[in-house]
Every structure is written in structure tokens, then in C-alpha cells.
Structure 1
Amino acid sequence: MATGESVLDDTLLLDAAALAAVDTGGVLRAAATAGAQVRSAALSTDEAGVPDLSGHRPRGLVLVRRPGVSATAMPLVAAVLGPACPVPVVLADTVPLWTGPLDVVVVHTDDANDAELADAVGSAVRRGSDVVLSAPGDGPVAAAGAGRVRLVEPRIPVPPALDLPRAYAVGLVVAGTLGLLGAGFDVRLDALADALDGEAERNQPGHEPFMNPAKALALRLAEHTPLLWGVDAVASAVAAHGAAALATHAGVVAHADDAARAATATGLRRALESGAAERDVFHDPFDDPAPAALALRLVLLATGEDEPGQALLRRTGRDWPVADVLHPVEEIVRGTPNAAVLRAGVLASRLDIAAVYLGLATRTIEPA
């Protein structure tokens, strides 16, 4: 725990009934809806007219980051598209003024009253931009584009911080429809939804930590400062989402970055190599309520086909201290079409659920 004030009740993670009693707001149930969110988003994009974009090659694809999950979902979509994308992909905090009738704009927000975004959406449609808006159907944002945007409304109510699957799905459907993810990409996203259902099943409260990867991760991160380092670009984007999830649900401050770039942070590197970040095993948090900095916990995330250690050695030219590795090749086997897309969704869901477990076990998530 970043503050050192909340005390982890690890026994709570062993008792499904106790978890249910603490989770009065149903946050765990909401986190388990990732697959359903993807299916409903794919259906909603169809009803919103996104398939009409098929065959269109835009001048540019603009992915708009707004406060909340959008800030990590849109960079994740951009990372999946990667440098091989046949059109420029622009990440922006609002709709750029240069957008016009040749551009496609994707926006996700859970804030129906975002006045700045409402102005930007209204301006974009007046300039003739093709806007796909993932947002609630009421409020100024939707009204600003009424009848002129492809509005994808949420169908499954979840807390705003747990709607990354919907935002990710909308971005993937748009990119797939535009032909930016390859001719064989399935815009129905059945494989992604199935993979997320499988992850939710593994992480259900009744499973003990040794067979529940989200609980196991929560216990590994508890009372540490997590370093979430991505071995590849897609994994780095997932790491950024994981850091946001930990902050939101568990009050944990984590460092998220690309592993090769993070390796240039000499202070962190030295702490990892020397083991100086480890906490005294005899430290009693009740005797000393203001302990030294929490021990670092390095977690390497990967979505590619290569072994993460080998990929990191190739990129950095050095071996690394022992690290936890999140590389779901058992869940999404090597050679699976669009494996990085699926692994990214699985890792993001695992981090979301782990953050919720940690928030419940430290009582950071308040009762409804």
C-alpha cells in the first residue's frame, strides 16, 4: 500500500463469503463483466452504423483521451495498431481543430456532462469529421453530436473505472472496420470476449490464490511499490492502465513504463540490482507507523510471442533481477491470430480484478 496506512487483510482473499460481505457495491461482479462488455459494445457499434465505414481509408485516425479509462484505453488501441498502421494514428486530449471530412475520430467517455468534449464533438461534426462516440446517450456530450455522430451507448452498467473493455472494444471495431488490423480481423470480437470470460472464470472469488491469478497478483503487489514494465509496446500500454487501476481501486502508487525506457532510470535499476529496496523482514508496522519506502516489486508484462526475458535482454543488453512475469501464453497460445490483442485484454482485466481484490482487502474500496 502506497500510504502505509491501510492494513492488508489477506485472510479476506481466502473467504468468498467474507469478500461478498465487504463488496457491498458489487465491484467484483462489475469487474467480471469484461467479456459481456465487449460483446455488447460490438453489437452497439453495429447498431450505431460503424459498419458503414468499411472500405473507407481515412486521412488519419484520431483517438481522443479524456479523463478516466479513456486515458489508457485509447493509447492501448494505438499500441495495438502500431507503427505498421497504414494511416497516421493521432492520440489527442481533445478533437484537434485540423480534423475534417477525411478523418475518423474515436471518442470514449463516461462523463455525459464533459463540457469541453461536448464543444469539441460539436466542432468536429460541423467540420465534417466522421465521429464514433462511445458515451452515455444523455447529457451535453451526446447532444452535441445528436444525429451526426455514430453513438455507441453503454448497455452494461459498471463503475466508470471498470469500463476499459467497452472502450477497447469500440476502438478495435472501428480500426478493424477501416481495415487497419488486417483483412481477417473479426470485428465481432468473439475471441476477445471468450478470452475475457475465461479470465473472469479463473479470477472468481471462490478460487483460492494458487488457482486465481488476480488474487495471486494482488498478494504479490500488497505492501510493495509495483514497477509495471512492458516488454513490448502493447504491454507497456497495458501497464499504464494497470497503474491507473491500482491507484483508483487500491490507493497504490505504481510506476508503469516501457521496460527498455525504465531501465534508464538509474535509481530504480540500482535498487533492483542491489536489493536495497527490500523491507526489513523484522519490521513491525504497528510499532513504526511511518516505515521506510515500500519494497519494490518488478512485474514484467508481455503480449508478444517471445519469452519476456529473452526479449528484454535483446532490447536492453542486460540481465535483470528476479521479476514476476505476466505473459498469458497459456491462456492465449502462441500462433493464435491477433494474439497480442487478446493477451492485452486478458492482462488489463487481470490487473483490474487484482486492484479490486487489493482494494477490498485493504478496505480502500468503501462500502456502497
Structure 2
Amino acid sequence: MTYIDEAVLDDQDHLAACDSRSTLRALATAGAQLREGARLAREAGVERLARSDRPRSVLVASLGGSAVVADVLDMLAEPGSPVPVAVRRNIPLPGWVGSLDLVVAVSLSGRARGPLAVAAEAARRGASLLTVGAADSPLAAVCARARGVHVDVGPDRLSSRTSLWSLLTPVLVAANELGLVDVDEAALEQTALRLDAEAEADRPSSEAFINPAKSLALQLSETVPVVLGDGPLSGVAAARAAMMLARTARIPATHGELPDAASQVVATFDGPFTAGGGRGVDRLRAGADIFADPFLDGPAQPRLGLLMIRDAPADITSPDHADLAALSDAVLKTAYDAGVKVATITAESGHPLTRLAGQIARVDYAATYLAIGSGLDPAVSEHIHALRDHTRA
């Protein structure tokens, strides 16, 4: 558990010194990435995918920082897509994939083994192919040989974690052309505006007491967090949040989605990371040393945190919305009663993609501030480098 001094997050020199690859600046380009991604998709000719018969199925391969691309398409397509959408991170390709299907492979560098292998096998079987990644990459070459559609991600994209909208937008534009999702020009622009607004609210020069991402980082810094989404849309945001907290902030985080994850999350409230395992909370709080200095004395033990990500109530049309809302409220009340530190993010109203974008962006910034506040570079991990060295040996 890390205690962060609020002043550190408002120290512009410290922010710049820790952020060697300008992660905060890259996150702030999300709206511009979306607009550029839509333009590049059209220039690449994604509409060609819709000129022939609609594919029998769509399979999406993305992993690591771009894994959420497949999750977003699956979530948006599920309510009304006329064809199934499947997710695959690596080979083997399912036996049913053939010439009647569309395979989408996403990799920022165009060199990730999983999507590259999936694309190559799909091309061998004669499936239609859409790839998104760097130009002049192995992935682009595979797509060209298969006469598929490759969409470039644009210049200066250094990390898939900060280039989400360059990767996701072409896939959504293509899916809209195929009638798999309802993400038209208006929805894309609405989403870009939401991302612009979040970038303004979470900018480094905004002080912590009014900056929602810095405030969230301060809350999460004192916990071992569990991230819980209150439905399918927020469940995607929760998975992305857990990945960003682990990969960017170096905080182990688990995630789940209601209603299925309610029991397994609430069960942790009885464990060793709550005050008295959820029992005797008031007694333990009363006996705590109010003069303890977390910076000098160190924390006695980590404290469980719950980050609840909630959809905009006015925009949820699911028939079981009332039950999910009641379950979310019950989980939150149980958490408070057990001494769990709770933080919430509630989406603003809008198109499903717009609501999701706001949830994702808030945690992306918070995870980055959490890393910087802890004295870590959000883009560089010595142990990731060590892992790569070991796997090359």
C-alpha cells in the first residue's frame, strides 16, 4: 500500500521527471486519435468489407494493451449484431473459421505474435481480413498478401495502452459498415468530445482537489483494489481498469462484473485486508493510532479497496436494470459496513461508446497519476524489460 502526498501530484517538475515518455500527454490525445482513426479507416477502404455478402461470423484477435478492442466490439455487438462476434487472443484458430468469416487482428506494432499468427492462419484459410497496426509491419504484409484491408495507426504511437482509440476506432468504423454495431459519425464525434472533456478535467496543471483523476489516484493509493462493473458496459471498463492499475501503476488489481462476480467480491470483505476481516470494525478504528505517520512508520497492512464502475442510470435499457442497480447498492453498503475503502465512477449520459470512453479515460489517467505519485515511470518497467531479456535467451 502506497501513501501519496497530494502535493506531489501537483508538482509539475515531478510529473515531468517521472513521465519519461509523456504518457499523460499521449492520453490527452485520445479524442484526436479517434478522429484520426476514423479518417484513416475510410482512407484504407474499410467500406470494401461491406460490398460483398455479410460475413458468417467475426473473430477479433487482440491482446495486452489492445485486448480491450475485442472486448468493446463484443460488448457493443452483442445486443443486436446479426452475426456472432468471437474473441481469440492467439492460435489455434477455431476450426470453424473459413472463407465465409471475417478475422480482425489488432497490434500497434504489427508484430505481436498472437494477432500476427491468427491473421496468417486466417489468410491461409481464405477468410476476409481486417488488420490494424503499424504500416510496413509483418501484420500489414500478411494482410496485403491476403488482399485484406489494413489500417495504419498513425505516427508517434509508442504504447498500446495510450493508443487505444487509434486501435479501436477503425474496428468500430468497419463494424458499423457491416451493420454489426450502431456507431455512426455522430456517435464517434460525441465520444471524441467526451474524451476531450476528460482530458481537460484531468490535465496535469489541474490541482488534485478539483482534478477527478488525481482524486481517484489518491483514493486508490491506500488500497489493494477490486474493480467491479455494474453490467456489461462497465464490466469492459473494469477489465481495462484492472489492466491499467497493474501494468501502469504496478498495483495488483482484480476485476469482475455484476451480477456474476457479486459473491466472489463480497467474500473478500471477510478477509485479512479489511478492518478485522469485516468484524469489529468500529472497535479497531477506535483503537487506531491517530498520530501514526504513514510516511515514517509505514502502513500496518494493506487495506482492501472497491472501485465500483457504474453505468449512467438514465441510459440503461436492460430489463434487469432494476435488479442490477439494487445489487450494486447492496454491494456498496456491504463494503462500507465491512470497512472497505470505496471509490465510484459513474458514467455520464450518452451513446454506449461515449459512456464507456469516459469510464476508461478516468481510470487511465488515475493509474498514470498513481504511478507518478509513487515515484514510478508509468511507461517503463524494469521487470518487464527483464522478462523480455529472459524470454529472448
**Whole-Å Cα distance in 1 between the matches of residues 117 and 101 of structure 2?**
18
**Whole-Å Cα distance in 2 between the matches of residues 97 and 11 of structure 1?**
56
1:241 matched residue in structure 2: 240
User: Closer, same or farther in 2 for the Cα pair 1:187/1:96, shift >3 Å?
Assistant: farther
Q: Which runs of 4+ in 1 moved over 6 A?
A: 275-279
Find the partner of 1:326 among 345, 348, 354: 345
2:45 matched residue in structure 1: 49
> Is 1:341 aligned with 2:356?
no
1:84 matched residue in structure 2: 80
User: Closer, same or farther in 2 for the Cα pair 1:135/1:97, shift >3 Å?
Assistant: farther
SS in 1 for 2:150: strand
User: Closer, same or farther in 2 for the Cα pair 1:170/1:275, shift >3 Å?
Assistant: farther
Q: Which moved more, 1:315-324 or 1:158-167?
A: 315-324
**Whole-Å Cα distance in 2 between the matches of residues 281 and 232 of structure 1?**
39
Offset at 1:243?
A: 0.7
> Is 1:274 aligned with 2:282?
no
Aligned partner letter, 2:307: V
Conserved 8 A contact 1:44-1:152:
yes
Matches within 5 A, 1:212-361: 212-265=211-264, 266-270=266-270, 274=278, 282=290, 284-285=293-294, 291-292=300-301, 294-306=302-314, 312-315=324-327, 318=330, 320-321=332-333, 322=336, 323-329=342-348, 333=349, 336=350, 339-361=351-373
Aligned partner letter, 1:305: P
Count of residue pairs brought into register by the alignment: 354
1:233-266 residue CA offsets vs partner (Å, 9 max, x unmatched): 1111111101111111110111211032222115
SS in 1 for 2:55: coil
> Is 1:132 aligned with 2:144?
no
User: Closer, same or farther in 2 for the Cα pair 1:263/1:120, shift >3 Å?
Assistant: closer
> Is 1:106 aligned with 2:104?
yes
Aligned partner letter, 1:72: V
Instruction: Name which one, 1 or 2, has greater alpha-carbon Rg.
Output: 2
Aligned partner letter, 1:130: S
**Whole-Å Cα distance in 1 between the matches of residues 243 and 370 of structure 2?**
14
1:144 matched residue in structure 2: 142
**Whole-Å Cα distance in 2 between the matches of residues 72 and 367 of structure 1?**
18
User: Closer, same or farther in 2 for the Cα pair 1:59/1:167, shift >3 Å?
Assistant: same
Offset at 1:351?
A: 0.9
User: Closer, same or farther in 2 for the Cα pair 1:70/1:25, shift >3 Å?
Assistant: closer
**Whole-Å Cα distance in 1 between the matches of residues 368 and 155 of structure 2?**
19
Offset at 1:186?
A: 2.6
Aligned partner letter, 1:299: L
Among all aligned residue pairs of Structure 1 and Structure 2, give the percentage whose two residues are the same amino acid. Answer: 30
Conserved 8 A contact 1:38-1:193:
yes
Matches within 5 A, 1:167-246: 167-182=167-182, 185-186=184-185, 189-246=188-245
Q: Name the TM-score, length of structure 2 as normaliser.
A: 0.80
SS in 2 for 1:145: helix
Offset at 1:350?
A: 1.2
User: Closer, same or farther in 2 for the Cα pair 1:39/1:24, shift >3 Å?
Assistant: same
Aligned partner letter, 2:174: V
**Whole-Å Cα distance in 2 between the matches of residues 129 and 256 of structure 1?**
34
Aligned partner letter, 2:353: V
SS in 1 for 2:31: helix
Which structure 1 segments of 5+ residues have no match?
A: none
Find the partner of 1:362 among 361, 374, 385: 374
**Whole-Å Cα distance in 2 between the matches of residues 138 and 11 of structure 1?**
44
1:157 matched residue in structure 2: 156
**Whole-Å Cα distance in 2 between the matches of residues 178 and 281 of structure 1?**
62
Offset at 1:345?
A: 1.0
**Whole-Å Cα distance in 2 between the matches of residues 81 and 275 of structure 1?**
44
Offset at 1:37?
A: 1.2
Conserved 8 A contact 1:196-1:346:
yes
**Whole-Å Cα distance in 2 between the matches of residues 205 and 119 of structure 1?**
40
User: Closer, same or farther in 2 for the Cα pair 1:25/1:320, shift >3 Å?
Assistant: closer
1:121 matched residue in structure 2: 119
1:100-125 residue CA offsets vs partner (Å, 9 max, x unmatched): 22212222112433345434312212
Q: Name the TM-score, length of structure 1 as normaliser.
A: 0.85
**Whole-Å Cα distance in 2 between the matches of residues 61 and 224 of structure 1?**
39
Offset at 1:17?
A: 4.2
User: Closer, same or farther in 2 for the Cα pair 1:365/1:275, shift >3 Å?
Assistant: farther
Aligned partner letter, 1:59: R
**Whole-Å Cα distance in 2 between the matches of residues 11 and 275 of structure 1?**
35
1:34 matched residue in structure 2: 30
Aligned partner letter, 2:107: T
Offset at 1:310?
A: 5.8
1:17-51 residue CA offsets vs partner (Å, 9 max, x unmatched): 44234323211101111111111111111112111
User: Closer, same or farther in 2 for the Cα pair 1:26/1:259, shift >3 Å?
Assistant: same
1:341-363 residue CA offsets vs partner (Å, 9 max, x unmatched): 10111111111111111111111
2:55 matched residue in structure 1: 58
